[in-house]
Amino acid sequence: MNQKKKLGTASWIAFTYVGTVVGAGFASGQEIMAFFTIYGIKSFWAIMISCILFILIGIRILLLGMELRASSFRKLIDTMFGFLSPFISIYLLFSMMIINVAMLAGAGAIFQEFGETSYLIGVASTAFIAIIAIGFGIRGILSINKIVVLSVLVLLIFALLITLFTNSPIQKQARFVEISPIHLITRGISYASYNLILSMGVLANLGYEFKDKKVLRLGGLIGGSILGAMLLSIHYCLLEHMPDIFDYEIPMFYIISNGSWFISVIYAFVIWGAIFTTLLGNLFSVTSFLYDKYRIHHMVSAIIIVCLGSLLAPLGFSSIINTLYPIIGLIGVAFIIAILYNTKSRKS
């Protein structure tokens, strides 16, 4: 494989990595505001910790996927958690399915609020497209993630330009939450951990598909660096619009819209894309696990999962997600420790 082709493959891997992490909460700014921005400028250090972990652990998962020939996250969980692996796997499968329900519900809400169409049409059309995409396997996910991530990056650059050249309300007396250095460290670790544990299935499969250590390392480096740059950029934009931003459910929309209908439509499309890539990443992880473990065909399990999710989506699952995510984060921290220990053991 020549250098140009290696760089191209690494960029596909990077975009897929980023697309799996960047959900609606990330693209809207709400997730970053809750995790980091409410603590002010000091949370820069927490973001840097997340960025380092995204690079180091992302690369390690990709390489483990290649070394273990892991077509799903099953082999990684078995290797890292031993006798606890069945319990961890069941919990992660359940969590991913519930998150899929939440993503379908979010897609329905986007159609209802911005497209002025039926909530159920939004859920059904998103579910249908997800099933079609799963049929194309990891290559289909690569293509979709590249388009969505580029769209999010363009929107983010636009938000940065608006922030840099319009006003600077950061001079206002915004009151930030006090935080200790230890708490900052834990925020950085916990944010990276729950995103990494949910991205594990896609990353492991990428390692399985692209068996080139240099390409995988470069893909993990580029992907982790893009995530870090996006985190810092959104954090900066939010800080510059404090304290007004606290009043908005979708902070980034407040920054870029300025009442423009056209920008509103573009932003709605990007948010839907971010929801879709998260849905697709989770769905692919679950279907890959079920195929690896029980030989259930991807399309069969995808249709069953998405149909069940579509039926449950109108019920709303935000409270369940808020309960699940801290536990997923704890498993993610344990996974990061296990990854680092595994790396050290292999070197020695």
Reported as a single tens digit per residue, the pLDDT across 179-230 is: 899 999 999 998 998 889 889 999 999 999 998 999 999 999 999 999 999 9
- CA-closest candidate to residue 275, choices 35, 54, 22, 34: 22
pLDDT band at 345 (very low <50, low <70, confident <90, very high): low
The answer to whether 200 touches 338, Cβ cutoff 8 Å, is no
The answer to whether 9 touches 216, Cβ cutoff 8 Å, is no
Answer whether residue 132 shows pLDDT above 90. yes
Q: Sign (positive/negative) of CA torsion 55, 57, 60, 61?
A: negative
pLDDT band at 95 (very low <50, low <70, confident <90, very high): confident
Residues above pLDDT 70, as percent of the chain: 90
pLDDT of residue 325: 65
When computed from its CA atoms, the radius of gyration of the chain, rounded to whole angstroms, is: 19
Name the superfamily (CATH) of residues 3-347.
Hydantoin permease (1.10.4160.10)
- CA-closest candidate to residue 331, choices 142, 195, 162: 195
CB atoms < 10 A from the CB of 161, how many? 11
pLDDT of residue 320: 54
pLDDT band at 249 (very low <50, low <70, confident <90, very high): low
More confident residue, 279 or 113: 279
pLDDT of residue 171: 47
Stretch 310-326: mean pLDDT: 65
Question: Domain map of the chain by residue range?
Answer: 3-347
Over the stretch 47-83, which tens digit does the pLDDT of each residue have? 999 999 999 999 999 999 999 999 898 988 898 888 8
Q: Which CB contacts under 8 angstroms, 24+ apart, belong to 158-166?
A: 158/256, 159/233, 159/234, 159/237, 159/252, 159/255, 159/256, 160/233, 160/236, 160/237, 162/255, 162/256, 162/258, 163/236, 163/237, 163/240, 163/241, 163/255
pLDDT of residue 317: 46
- For the chain, give the mean pLDDT: 85
Stretch 147-169: mean pLDDT: 83
